[in-house]
Amino acid sequence: MNNVIRKRGQHSYPKKKILCLVSNTASLHGMEVGFFAEEMTRPFYDFIIAGYDVDVASPNGGAVKFDGHSNPENPAGAYPNDLISIGFVHHKEFGKWMQNTKPISEINVNDYDAVCVAGGGAPLITFKYDAKLHKLIADFYEAGKITCLICHGTSLLLWTRLSDGALLADGKTWTGFADSEEAMINQMFGMTVNEYTIETEARKNPNTTFEVAGALEPFAVRDGRLITAQQQHSSYLASQLVIEALSE
């Protein structure tokens, strides 16, 4: 007896506009770090396939770079089969954006339905003291927009405060890069890479619920308008949750 499996998907979605936000570059232990390739390009791809309009921005604007570790065209990188990121940088239009992202000073929250923030090596450095970026994320959330943060991009929940002074993370359930995964990075590089970790800092907040799956396991959480994803392997889960939320 044959087992017949039929699966249907959705082809057309309501028209939406998304802001993909990435970090500018920074120096970490003498290495130039940027954003994790797949954490921007996979959601970007999923949003384009859904028919959305997508912009790419960074706090300062201008040129941005993939982390060397995540760059599929880096011979020493770990993700040579990331075809989506390869396709993005070689696309005749999208690839140009890596050289000239919009600065957040030019972003009007009302132009967008959602924001999706990538992680990587730089966010723990560049996002921490960026009050304008914290306010932008708070503005997106308070304007009723879907707010999606991936991997180290979720560090924004450690600092982003709403207009009433409360942390956006207060009363929320969320995830982010786990201490177990930080330990793997430390072992890989033979040093303590980051001076603080998202999980350790999040657990200091008694008003929030921070959850993680096993190291490198795909895991994402939606709590109302807030969507968070644990690491790069969770990027596709994050974009699925964004598309589902925008289809409601």
pLDDT digits (tens, 9 = 90+) for 64-81: 999 999 999 999 999 999
pTM, to two decimals: 0.97
The pLDDT score that the predictor gives to residue 106 is 98
pLDDT computed for residue 22 by the predictor? 98
Query: What confidence score (pLDDT) does residue 1 get?
Result: 66
Place of tokens 């786990």: 178
Flag whether 92 is in a domain: yes
Q: Provide, rounded to the nearest whole percent, the portion of the chain with pLDDT above 70.
A: 100
Q: In which domain, by residue range, is 121 found?
A: 17-246
Between the two ends of the chain, the Cα-to-Cα distance in Å is 39
- pLDDT confidence band for 174 (50 / 70 / 90): very high
Residue 165 lies in a domain: yes
Give 112's pLDDT tier (boundaries 50, 70, 90): very high
- Assess whether pLDDT exceeds 80 at residue 28: yes
Under 8 Å between Cβ of 195 and 206: no
Confidence (pLDDT) at 200: 98
Would strands 53-58 and 173-174 be described as parallel, antiparallel, or unpaired? unpaired
Contact 57, 19 (CB under 8 A): yes
Count up the domains in the chain and report the number.
1
Calculate what percentage of the chain has a pLDDT beyond 90: 97
* 1, part of any domain: no
Q: State the pLDDT at residue 2.
A: 81
How many whole angstroms separate alpha carbon 90 and alpha carbon 35? 17
Average pLDDT over the chain reads 97
CB 10 within 8 A of CB 121: no
pLDDT at 93: 96
Residue 7 within any structural domain of the chain: no
Domain assignment present for 124: yes
Q: Is residue 168 one of the residues assigned to a domain?
A: yes
Across 237-245, average pLDDT: 98
pLDDT reading at 155 higher than 70: yes
Of the candidates 20, 79, 56, 87, the one whose C-alpha atom is nearest the C-alpha of residue 239 is: 20
CATH value at residue 236: 3.40.50.880
Domain annotation covers residue 2: no
